[in-house]
């Protein structure tokens, strides 16, 4: 290949074009944001630079005559169990560039997915199952501090009134929320879609650390605003207008790593929303520079609570790492109302591949140990737990809740709902599906009217399925499943793994 | 009247409207045959215009007071009762007066055809009769073309 390093020739995808079916409408040329497709008007042929193709399938999806197929390049070296082809390619890439490999989405390695080794219970003979189509089935969930006891008082007229002042609660009609994706990492169209869908569904969406755009203030009542290490866009109004605030300590895809939105992506709108100069790099430091201990975290939590007059719950998001149970216990004692535990399969807009694939622990285990630790310490009622990072379907939600979570956050599934094909090039800012890009040419590919409906349908479908599964278990309220590990069994796990999950093996 | 409304903010320049337009106005009703055997490639009534981040698909606006109708010397262009500005290609003599007159550039000269007549959008009159939406609207994957009542007539050219 002329003018190229030899290894470039081992590209991962081939654009297969059925030249007879191709009518040269040039749609694919326009759709490709990676410059892999171009039109030669002299020959009247559309050519592909296969080495530039990232496999996002945008051209394939929009080809009006079904003339394109993106296929993995069949030219592979010998299968090698130690040197998988991906490792070989990464080695070539780094030898050619000398850089860190940056990637997007979540961990794609073959670690055991514990959700797939957990089985749900169902009722037979001795206890009746429930038909959710005929009987009421409750998915409503409340997030926030629950307190130790309720005190009631009898009024002079004989009526009973609640004496205890309840901590602020979020009311979710279904225990599925949209996870934090910042304006900057995604564009406003997609963020607006999530916000609209959350309002429609009676659940919550999260702004991520990029601030809250003026256009989205009407949806802030169902919004959770994030306070991350960069403190972008944080102001009194930002905290007051939202339903809750979330302090992001860590992210599952990159525990211990900060963020970096390159200056060239910081356009006027993003600059205003993030409250930084236009064109300047938006750097989120790895730690919060004012949080070096649980006591420091407590100060920030209470600073936010003071600002919001103790009317809003404060979330703390931590990545699932090795000492997660102890950390969560500390976070609970620091005064958090909700702890978000982000597993190592969680997604991101950009992270070093080495960190994404090798740092952290699975969310299933993290939830199980956090729930157990907080119960043992008698403070489980002080906090709600939100599981995120690797929730792929309604069964995963049910399993996460049975392991001890109160609700889940979804983000990768939300992106899939609006077209994402997991090509893992979010970091380039050239997402051909118009999700993780702010290029005006590409961002318009997300029409909030269509995208919000897709998101709404996805969560609605999951909720229906969850009701079916609950009904099969003879449970008519999601509350009754929370931490109910007796309704789970493990299959194909070691005794120790089952013990850590707190779940009995199948057959017992 | 109901027209094709262009939601410019969401056009993604996929050209599906053009392909749908050509296919639906072809004998075979098949895009591949229409392009390759009937040679209709340059005969799309909807034209996608792209420049930088801006893109939109433009077709006849079916004006209340169509300039093309005034310019037509042979009576090929008529305004039908339902508001559709219809160009009868059988009666067109190929003077291209309508092409010059149209302020939107929505009437096209058939440069590559044998007869050199003009052609323009008929709002998929055959599909409307069957209760279907115009082909371009149906094909648009991003709701950038809508078939609806016109929101405002102010954008129309009302007088010379």
Condensed to tens digits (0 to 9), the pLDDT of residues A353-386 reads: 999 999 999 999 999 999 999 999 999 999 999 9
Domain containing residue B15: 1-59+131-148
- Of B16, B31, B143, which is closest to A449 when you measure between CB atoms? B143
- Assess if residue B125 is contained within a domain: no
Structure tokens at A176: 């599925």
CB A170 within 8 A of CB A313: yes
CATH of residue B3: 3.30.70.20
pLDDT digits (tens, 9 = 90+) for A283-303: 999 999 999 999 999 999 999
Distance CA A340, CA A206 (A): 12
Give the number of other CB atoms < 10 A from CB of residue A436.
28
Whether B158 is covered by a domain: the verdict is no
Token pair of A79, please? 């299968």
Joined together, the tokens standing for residue A467 give 């009701």
Same-domain status, B71 and B104: yes
Task: Give the integer Cα–Cα distance in Å for A284 and A259.
Answer: 5
Domains held by chain B: number:
2
Question: Is the CB of A215 inside 8 Å of chain B's CB atoms?
Answer: no
Residue, of A80 and B13, whose pLDDT is higher: B13
Contacts with A, B 32-51, CB within 8 Å: 32, 35-36, 41, 50
CATH of domain A11-75: 3.30.70.20
Q: Please indicate whether, in this complex, the C-beta atoms of A27 and B35 are within 8 angstroms of each other.
A: no
The model's pLDDT over A56-75, given as tens digits with 9 standing for 90+, comes to 999 999 999 999 999 999 88
Contacts of A30 in chain B (CB under 8 A): 12-15, 50, 55
- How do residues A158-182 score in pLDDT, each as one tens digit? 899 998 889 999 999 999 999 999 9
Kindly state whether B5 is in contact with chain A, defined as any CB-CB distance less than 8 angstroms.
no
Nearest CA in chain B to A25: B15
Interface size between A and B, measured as CB pairs under 8 A = 64
**Contacting residues for B92 by C-beta, under 8 A, at least 6 apart:** B74, B76, B117, B118
Helix axes A448-472, A188-201, angle to 10 degrees: 40
Residues of chain B positioned with their CB less than 8 A from the CB of A31: 12-14
Contacts of B148 in chain A (CB under 8 A): none
Residues B108 and B140 in one domain: no
A99 vs A115: CA distance, rounded Å: 35
Rounded-to-integer distance, Cα A134 and Cα A128, Å = 14
pLDDT at A25 over 60: yes
Q: Do A20 and B32 touch (CB under 8 A)?
A: yes
Contact A323, A361 (CB under 8 A): no
B86 and B40, same structural domain? no
DSSP state of A507: T
3-state SS class at A409: strand
User: Taking CB atoms and an 8 Å limit, are B11 and A23 in contact across chains?
Assistant: no
CB B106 within 8 A of CB B58: yes
Q: How far A67 CA lies from chain B's nearest CA (Å)?
A: 10
Domain A141-505, classified CATH 3.20.20.70, yes or no: yes
Q: Which of A221, A228, A185 has the alpha carbon at shortest distance from A205? A: A221
Residue in chain B closest to A18 (alpha carbons) equals: B32
Pick the closest to residue A433 from A15, A104, A90, A48 (CA basis): A104
A24–B15 C-beta distance less than 8 A: no
Chain centre distance of CA A260: 18
- Tell me if A26 and B15 make a contact (CB, 8 A cut-off): yes
Nearest residue on chain B to A19, alpha-carbon basis:
B32
Asked if A449 is an interface residue toward chain B (Cβ–Cβ < 8 A), one would say: yes
Query: What residue of A is the nearest CA neighbor of B52?
Result: A441
pLDDT of residue B159: 42
Q: Where in chain A is the domain with CATH 3.20.20.70?
A: 141-505
Chain B: closest CA distance from residue A177 (Å): 25
The pLDDT, as a whole number, for residue A396 is 97
B153 assigned to some structural domain: no
* Same domain as B37, residue B21: yes
160 residues of chain B, pLDDT tens digit each: 889 999 989 999 999 999 999 999 999 999 999 999 999 999 999 999 999 999 999 999 999 889 999 999 999 999 999 899 999 999 999 999 999 999 999 999 998 878 889 999 999 999 999 999 999 999 999 999 999 887 555 454 444 3
Contact between A441 and B52 using a beta-carbon 8 Å cutoff: yes
- What number of other Cβ atoms are within 10 A of residue A241's Cβ? 17
For residue A59, list chain B residues with Cβ-Cβ distance below 8 A: none
* pLDDT mean over A172-195: 95
A363-376 vs A324-333: helix crossing angle, rounded to 10: 50
The answer to whether position B83 is within a domain reads: yes
CB-based contacts of B55: which residues, under 8 Å, 6+ apart? A30, A441, A444, B8, B11, B12, B13, B48, B49
User: CATH 3.30.70.20 in chain A, residues?
Assistant: 11-75
**B27 & B73 share domain:** no
Q: Give the gap in angstroms from C-alpha A387 to the nearest C-alpha of chain B.
A: 33
Closest residue of B to A441, CA-based? B53
Does one domain contain both B51 and B3? yes
Q: What is the pLDDT of residues A316-362, one digit of tens each?
A: 999 999 999 999 999 999 999 999 999 999 999 999 999 999 999 99
Clarify whether residues B53 and B70 are in a common domain: no
CA A321 to chain centre: 17
H or E, element range at A348: none
In a domain, B106, yes or no: yes
Distance from CA of A439 to the nearest CA of B (A): 8
Note whether B8 and B27 are same-domain residues: yes
């Amino acid at each position: 290949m002329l003018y190229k390093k030899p290894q470039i020739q081992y590209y991962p995808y081939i654009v297969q074009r059925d030249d007879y079916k191709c009518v040269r409408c040039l749609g694919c040329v326009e759709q490709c944001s990676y410059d892999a497709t171009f039109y030669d008007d002299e020959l009247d042929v559309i050519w592909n630079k296969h080495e530039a193709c990232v496999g996002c399938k945008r051209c394939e999806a929009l080809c009006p005559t079904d003339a394109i197929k993106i296929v993995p390049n069949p030219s592979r070296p010998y299968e090698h169990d130690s040197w998988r082809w991906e490792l070989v390619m990464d080695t070539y890439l780094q030898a050619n560039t000398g850089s860190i490999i940056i990637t997007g989405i979540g961990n794609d390695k073959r670690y055991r997915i514990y959700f797939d080794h957990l089985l749900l219970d169902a009722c037979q003979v001795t206890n009746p199952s429930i038909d959710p189509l005929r009987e009421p089935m409750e998915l409503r969930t409340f997030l926030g501090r629950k307190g130790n006891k309720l005190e009631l008082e009898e009024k002079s007229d004989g009526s009973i009134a609640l004496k205890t002042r309840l901590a602020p609660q979020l009311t979710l009609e279904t225990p599925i929320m949209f996870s934090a994706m910042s304006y900057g990492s995604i564009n406003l169209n997609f963020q607006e879609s999530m916000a609209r869908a959350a309002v429609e569904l009676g659940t919550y969406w999260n702004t991520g650390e990029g601030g809250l755009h003026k256009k989205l203030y009407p949806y802030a009542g169902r919004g959770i605003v994030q306070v991350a290490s960069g403190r972008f866009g944080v102001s009194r109004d930002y905290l007051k207008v939202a339903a809750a605030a979330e302090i992001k300590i860590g992210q599952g895809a990159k525990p211990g790593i900060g963020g970096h939105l390159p200056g060239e992506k910081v356009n006027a709108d993003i600059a205003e929303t993030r409250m930084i100069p236009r064109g300047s790099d938006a750097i989120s430091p790895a730690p919060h520079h004012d949080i070096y201990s649980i006591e420091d975290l407590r100060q920030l939590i209470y600073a936010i609570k003071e600002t919001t007059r103790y009317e809003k719950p404060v979330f703390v998001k931590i990545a699932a790492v090795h000492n997660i149970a102890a950390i969560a216990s500390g976070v609970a004692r620091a005064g958090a109302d909700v702890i978000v535990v982000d597993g190592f399969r969680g997604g991101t807009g950009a992270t070093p591949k080495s960190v994404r694939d090798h740092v952290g622990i699975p969310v299933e285990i993290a939830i199980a140990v956090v729930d157990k630790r907080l119960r043992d310490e008698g403070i489980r009622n002080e906090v709600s737990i939100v599981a995120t990072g690797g929730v792929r379907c309604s069964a995963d939600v049910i399993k996460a809740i049975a392991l001890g979570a109160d609700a889940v956050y979804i983000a990768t599934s939300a992106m899939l709902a609006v077209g994402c094909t997991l090509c893992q090039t979010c970091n380039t800012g050239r997402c051909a599906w118009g999700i993780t890009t702010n290029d005006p040419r590409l961002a318009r590919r997300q029409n909030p009217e269509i995208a919000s409906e897709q998101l709404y349908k996805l969560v609605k479908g999951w909720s229906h399925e969850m009701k079916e599964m609950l009904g099969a278990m003879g449970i008519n309220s999601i509350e009754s499943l929370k931490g109910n590990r007796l309704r789970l069994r493990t299959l194909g796990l070691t005794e120790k793994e089952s013990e850590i999950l707190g779940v009995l093996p199948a057959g017992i | 009247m109901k027209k094709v409304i262009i939601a410019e903010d969401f056009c993604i320049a996929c050209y599906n409207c053009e392909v749908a337009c050509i296919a639906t106005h072809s004998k075979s009703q098949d895009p591949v045959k229409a392009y390759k055997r009937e040679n209709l490639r340059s005969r799309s009534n909807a034209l996608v215009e792209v420049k930088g981040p801006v893109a939109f698909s433009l077709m006849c606006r079916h004006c209340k007071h169509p300039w093309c109708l005034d310019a037509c010397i042979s009576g090929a262009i008529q305004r039908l009762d339902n508001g559709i500005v219809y160009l009868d290609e059988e009666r067109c003599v190929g003077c291209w007066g309508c092409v010059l007159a149209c302020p939107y550039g929505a009437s096209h000269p058939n440069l590559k055809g044998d007869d050199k007549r003009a052609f323009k959008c008929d709002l998929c009159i055959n599909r409307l009769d069957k209760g279907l939406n115009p082909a371009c609207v149906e094909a648009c994957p991003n709701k950038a073309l809508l078939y609806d009542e016109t929101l405002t007539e102010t954008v129309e050219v009302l007088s010379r």
